[in-house]
Each structure stands twice: as structure tokens, then as C-alpha cells.
């Protein structure tokens, strides 16, 4: 996945998402140690921690959506 900066927005090729300052805001509590794992994953993937979280959530939601569509097709 490639990362581009365009007009202060982070666009991840293939992730079909844009993370920008105009996005919605939330606070999430995570188990101890998870932030360190997210920080490391973000570093390895050359992303901000926020973008790493959004990409992972988006991928999980896509998997769920595909599973639901398969189950409805049965």
C-alpha cells in the first residue's frame, strides 16, 4: 500500500479511504500494551497511528460485509 499526502489529507492507495481533519472524532480506550502495538504497526507501515487504526477498522468492516453477503446468498 502506498501513502500520499494531498491537501493535508492522507490517502492510502487500495484502502479506499481518506483520513483528513474534517473526519468524525471519537475517543477509544484500548487494553494496556495495544497502543505500543499500534505504534509499531504504524511505523512499519509508514502511517500515523490514527491512519493505522482507521485502515484496520475499515478492513475488518469490509470482511464482515463480505461474510454477511455470503450468508445472505445461502
Rounded CA-CA distance 9/51 in Å is: 11
Q: Are 49 and 38 in contact (CB under 8 A)?
A: yes
**Looking at residue 2, what is its pLDDT?**
45
Question: How many angstroms separate the most distant Cα atoms in the chain?
Answer: 44
Q: What is the pLDDT of residues 33-63, one digit of tens each?
A: 999 999 999 999 999 999 999 999 999 999 9
Residue 23 pLDDT level (bands cut at 50, 70, 90):
confident
pTM: 0.69
Amino acid at each position: 500500500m502506498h501513502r500520499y499526502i494531498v491537501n493535508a489529507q492522507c490517502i492510502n492507495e487500495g484502502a479506499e479511504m481518506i483520513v483528513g481533519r474534517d473526519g468524525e472524532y471519537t475517543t477509544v480506550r484500548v487494553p494496556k500494551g495495544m497502543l505500543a502495538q499500534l505504534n509499531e504497526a504504524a511505523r512499519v507501515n509508514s502511517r500515523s497511528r490514527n491512519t493505522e487504526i482507521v485502515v484496520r477498522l475499515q478492513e475488518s468492516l469490509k470482511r464482515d460485509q463480505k461474510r454477511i453477503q455470503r450468508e445472505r446468498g445461502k
